[in-house]
């Protein structure tokens, strides 16, 4: 285990750390001629639930991956609780930052139990692994008998719960989620999202979620960042976004759930009138 471990562990997992949980300073990422992330500066407070929204290709995933060093910035700095991520061993960093993505990619030939414990296994933690797995299954509301099953024996929603359990196994303070519920049916997605929000609050996590579902962002997050062409075009609370005063990019995204809601209300009124 690296020397920076105890400091990083306490700083990342303690919501009371003084500075922001995450600080991006003039961060840029180019791929050849493409600028995926274009000079973003941003601070995210500990305990916040941030949604990153925007059209496909706007740079959301790239931004997320620079936080846990799946990719490094071309320019600029990323700090986590005042520590530059460049100075932290990527393996240690990823143990302190949970990462959940679409089609979670559980290891198909490993049991659910081993899939959940893989981070602990890689960290060389031998003690109490099965107890921790039991605790995590309970946390994500999966029955204990799932532990011995194989991934293909679980539904998509159950597999995504395993993904969340796996990400939480090493007790990270920070969770990065890249369209985590995107591949699920709307009912399952809604209930998983709600349950994750409760977990975020209960465990005192800091979460950044990428979603293309604006309604999900409005419902889950306390802060919404709208990305376009590698830049943050709006940075607002759900209420501010709904008020419609935060710019055209944001308005274009909010217009869809707003129109859907209006449509449903109109339909239900029509239906009510028919019955009356
Ligand atoms: P989003 O998650 O918002 O859909 P991404 O961050 O994945 O956007 O991509 C932003 C831009 O960077 C896109 O134009 C994409 O094609 C490009 N890009 C992302 N990753 C790579 C890569 N590994 N190599 C080349 N181009 C990439
Ligand atoms: Mg993406």
> Taking 50 as the threshold, does the pLDDT of residue 226 lie above it?
yes
C-alpha of residue 6 to centroid of ligand 2, in Å: 32
Q: Find the ligand nearest to 32 CA.
A: 1
Q: How far apart are CA 234 and CA 10, in angstroms?
A: 32
User: Which residues are near ligand 2, the ion (C-beta closer than 5 Å)?
Assistant: 61
Q: Which residue carries 């099953």 as its tokens?
A: 149
Nearest to 179 by CA among 228, 139, 213: 213
Q: How far apart are CA 236 and CA 212, in angstroms?
A: 16
CB 152 within 8 A of CB 108: yes
> Taking 80 as the threshold, does the pLDDT of residue 276 lie above it?
no
CB 172 within 8 A of CB 97: yes
C-alpha of residue 60 to centroid of ligand 2, in Å: 6
Q: Which residue's CA is the closest to the ligand 1 atom numbered 10?
A: 59
Protein residues with CB under 6 Å of any ligand 1 atom:
31, 34, 36, 54, 56-62
CB 223 within 8 A of CB 52: no
DSSP 192-227: HHHHHHHHHHHHT-EEEEE-S-HHHHHHH-SEEEEE
Q: Tell me the pLDDT tens digit for each residue of 25-69.
A: 999 999 999 999 999 999 999 999 999 999 999 999 999 999 999
| Partners of 43 in beta bridges | 23
pLDDT value of position 33: 96
pLDDT value of position 13: 46
> Taking 90 as the threshold, does the pLDDT of residue 178 lie above it?
yes
Share of the chain above pLDDT 70, in %: 91
Banded model confidence at residue 19, pLDDT cuts 50, 70, 90: low
Banded model confidence at residue 200, pLDDT cuts 50, 70, 90: very high
Contacts of 184 (CB under 8 A, 6+ apart): 156, 157, 160, 192
Structure tokens, 137: 């299954």
Cα distances from 189 to residues 14, 179, 180, 216, 248, in angstroms, run: 29, 11, 9, 9, 28
Pairing of strands 174-178, 22-31: unpaired
Burial-class residue 274 by CB neighbours within 10 Å (0-12, 13-18, 19+).
exposed
C-alpha of residue 139 to centroid of ligand 1, in Å: 33
């Amino acid at each position: 285990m690296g020397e920076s471990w105890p400091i990083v562990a306490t700083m990342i997992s303690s919501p009371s750390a003084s500075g922001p949980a995450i600080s991006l300073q003039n961060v840029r990422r180019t791929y050849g001629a493409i600028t995926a992330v274009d000079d973003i500066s941003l601070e995210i407070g500990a305990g916040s639930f941030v949604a990153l929204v925007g059209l496909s290709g706007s740079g959301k995933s790239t931004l997320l991956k620079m936080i846990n060093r799946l990719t490094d910035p071309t320019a600029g700095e990323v700090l986590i609780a005042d520590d530059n991520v460049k100075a932290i061993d990527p393996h240690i960093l990823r143990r302190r930052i949970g990462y959940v993505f679409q089609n979670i990619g559980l290891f198909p030939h490993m049991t659910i139990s081993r899939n959940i414990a893989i981070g602990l296994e890689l960290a060389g933690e031998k003690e109490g692994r099965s107890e921790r797995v039991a605790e995590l299954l309970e946390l994500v509301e999966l029955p204990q008998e799932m532990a011995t099953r194989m991934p293909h024996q679980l539904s998509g929603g159950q597999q995504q719960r395993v993904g969340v359990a796996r990400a939480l196994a090493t007790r990270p303070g920070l969770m990065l989620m890249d369209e985590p519920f995107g591949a699920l049916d709307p009912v399952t997605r809604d209930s998983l999202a709600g349950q994750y929000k409760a977990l975020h609050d209960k465990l005192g996590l800091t979460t950044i979620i990428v979603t293309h579902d604006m309604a999900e962002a409005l419902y889950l997050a306390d802060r919404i960042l709208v990305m376009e062409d590698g830049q943050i075009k709006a940075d607002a609370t759900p209420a501010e976004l709904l008020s419609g005063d935060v710019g055209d990019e944001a308005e274009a995204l909010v217009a869809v759930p707003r129109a859907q809601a209006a449509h449903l209300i109109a339909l239900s009124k029509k239906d009510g009138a028919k019955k009356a």
